[in-house]
Amino acid sequence: MTVECSRLPNGLTVVTEAMPNLESVALGVWIKSGSRDEREQEHGIAHLLEHMAFKGTRRRSARQIAEEIENVGGEVNASTSVETTAYYARILKDDVPLAVDILSDILLDSSFDEQELAREQHVILQEIGAANDTPDDVVFDKFAEIAFRDQSLGRPILGTPETVKSFTPDHLRTYLSRQYTADRIIIVAAGAVEHDSFVKHVEERFASVSPPAGDTGPLSQAIYTGGDYRETRKLMDAQLLLGFEGRAYHARDFYCSQLLANVLGGGMSSRLFQEVRERHGLCYSVYAFHWGFSDSGIFGIHAATGGDDLPKLVPVLIEELRKVTESVDVQEIDRARAQTRAQLLMAQESPAARASQIARQMLLYGRPIPNDELMDRLANLTPERLTDLAGRLFFDTMPTMSAIGPLNKLAQFDDIRASLTVSGTPPRQAANA
């Protein structure tokens, strides 16, 4: 499999990877713009724009968009994240021109009809309500909000009822013209695709995408704050998140942070699963994760448990954090590397996963990253690197805690924070904390 890359005259990047013996193609348009790129009064507009793209163009109604792709057995969808938005399709190889045409149509010629907008605003209000009724959604939203307080990076992607209802078609057009420019767009196809032919189709349909015009509102530097959020609800279980300042994609410790999350809570053989769930039986779910952003990151542990187990759970979690600052076995690192390698190779068996992987690498690094290069980066990580990083992550920053459920037995934040010390020295205050 070979990745090929072309740059169109307007600056738009097109990337393909031919995957032998397949009959289908996964293709999509990835934009380096997400909820974080919204100005304060635009909170939720990136997600609303993604919805409205499917609600009709000058050539197609919303129903025609759905019918044309499904008439040939294909599918089309979209998603919005903190730093990217994606519109993607999966189609049989002979129908690639149709998929490219539909994607270009919804992105370059959406009508933003006022009646359709009103209906979609109502749908998103229902979505916001459903999220607020789901504790394991709320706990993550509040976690990000506390970690990056008063910043777009910490705001929920869906927006608020007030902001969503305030948007007009002109607001959508203004945001689209500012953010969806050629320098921010990557178009990727993986599967039964021929590069030159695909580039030709893309150039025909996306030639009108313009280069950046004027101020796009550059992102402000992310400032990790940390702190505490807890909400008592009458629930059967408690959702708990404990986190720390992580590392950006380009930081030296990024891959080390990913590996550390795997060692701590990346599977059934991980330390947290074995100690917290299997040995002590203190929760039914526990895992660790690391989110990297363009200029910051966050390392977190999520646990779901009964309220009565909280007094025992938190000290055990903290003790596991302390242990990983003291020693990490080579076997644990090897297992984490093996899991990472398996995930990379398995993704290459799925056109959709592979297209998404290539797009993410192009947006972050400006080029596709070969698997061997990724594994070489992981191969250089030693037990000493992991223990050193763990000490700096867990015992040298203000923690972030978010909890929802029966919390009357959860320790006070100041007590939890005090237990995250090195030789009695309190964690470093985060900016604006």
Kindly list the catalytic residues.
50
CA distance 397 to 394: 7
Can you tell me which residue has the tokens 């209906």? 119
Say how many CA atoms lie within 13 Å of 115 toward its Cβ.
Answer: 3
Say how many CA atoms lie within 13 Å of 368 toward its Cβ.
Answer: 24
Helices (H) and strands (E) in the chain, counts: 16, 11
Amino acid present at 194: E
Contact 45, 159 (CB under 8 A): yes
Contact 265, 301 (CB under 8 A): yes
Neighbours of 266 (CB within 10 A): 23
Nearest in space to 134 (alpha carbons), one of 286, 288, 304: 304
Q: Where are the alpha helices (DSSP H) in 133-219?
A: 135-147, 161-166, 169-179, 195-206
Reported as type and span, the H/E element at residue 90 is strand 85-92
CA distance 325 to 323: 5
Nearest in space to 367 (alpha carbons), one of 85, 3, 32, 84: 3
CA distance 39 to 98: 35
| CA 278 centroid distance within chain | 29
Neighbours of 150 (CB within 10 A): 11
Neighbours of 369 (CB within 10 A): 17
Roughly what angle, to the nearest 10 degrees, separates helices 310-324 and 254-265? 130
Nearest in space to 283 (alpha carbons), one of 392, 400, 403: 403
What are the residues whose beta carbons fall under 8 Å from the beta carbon of 401, sequence distance 6 or more? 146, 227, 228, 229, 230, 240, 241, 242, 243, 413, 416
CA distance 189 to 176: 23
